[in-house]
Structure 1
């Protein structure tokens, strides 16, 4: 269930975990679609026979995992009164483990920093993407979003 956070409680949450998303499936059709869209059709992602023979199976693109952050993040929390959120970029992104085809991933989000801006509130979060049954996270990223209010 998505956590609803008010603007008044947000400052007290800096440094704390905001929550964990539901599990998201990373199946071969999703990987193939991403490969086609981005024109990154390296064999480790799309050639199931070769990847199975040489590497134990296909894996998702790191950028596919990164691209799931908005959907996973929306499943974690939302800020009351927000009219829009603009992707402001990333301070840090690390791909720390592979995401095998057929696996499930979820996002754990921690609030790192708040900055008042004339156009809204710039929020920095650390997102850690876990692979179900994995020993270490697949991705750790510090993302920035500009939250605007009506």
Structure 2
């Protein structure tokens, strides 16, 4: 479910829970593409047969793959009108809490914790939790920083 706001309303978003994205299945193909893009072909990610005998019993997604999904998920949760430029400004804190096995489904919850003015726009401080369907702990918790300019 997406929240749509105008640029003028961004300053009032502090404390807003944007809810959850749709579920996304993590496939071996997605993991392999990420491995190719990052040159990280560690067997725990790209060799399902060997990974079956590894510590997690299956191939797992790269932690940074799970984190990178925040970009896709963020765009599902907040739409802004009257914004000319959106910038992923960075991250304050990131933890890879649980591994994401091939075939697992993940989604993200986002809570806008703080909104600050920056030159020409606003910076949103967003607590993002990427959870794994049916798992007791999330895959990733991070505070994302996003900038919006009119």
TM-score, normalization by structure 1: 0.93
Q: What is the CA–CA distance in structure 1 between the aligned matches of 2:39 and 2:28, rounded to whole Å?
A: 16
| 1:91-106 aligned within 5 A | 91-106=92-107
How far apart are the structure 2 equivalents of 1:116 and 1:12? 11
Q: Kindly indicate whether the alpha-carbon contact (under 8 Å) linking 1:17 and 1:109 is maintained by their aligned counterparts in 2.
A: yes
State the distance in 1 between where 2:147 and 2:10 align: 14
Give SS of 1:133's match: coil
Shift of 1:7: 4.0
Indicate the larger mover: 3-12 or 41-50: 3-12
Please, which moves more after superposition, 101-110 or 72-81? 72-81
Does structure 1 conserve the Cα–Cα contact (< 8 Å) formed by 2:2 and 2:18? Answer: no
Q: Deviations over 1:60-103 (max 9, x none)?
A: 00000111111111111112211221111011111111111111
Give unpaired runs (5+ residues) of structure 2.
none
SS in 2 for 1:49: helix
Cα distance, 1:87–1:77 mapped onto 2, change above 3 Å: same
Q: Equivalents in 1 of 2:94, 2:87: separation in Å?
A: 18
Q: 1:130, 1:115 → 2: CA distance?
A: 27
Map of 1:78 onto structure 2? 79
Question: Which residue in 1 is equivalent to 2:137?
Answer: 136
Which region of structure 1 is more displaced relative to structure 2, 95-104 or 75-84?
75-84
Q: How many residues align?
A: 149
Q: With the length of structure 2 as denominator, give the TM-score of the two structures.
A: 0.93
Pairwise CA RMSD: 1.4
Contact 2:114 2:125 in 1 (8 A): yes
What secondary structure does 1:85 align onto? strand
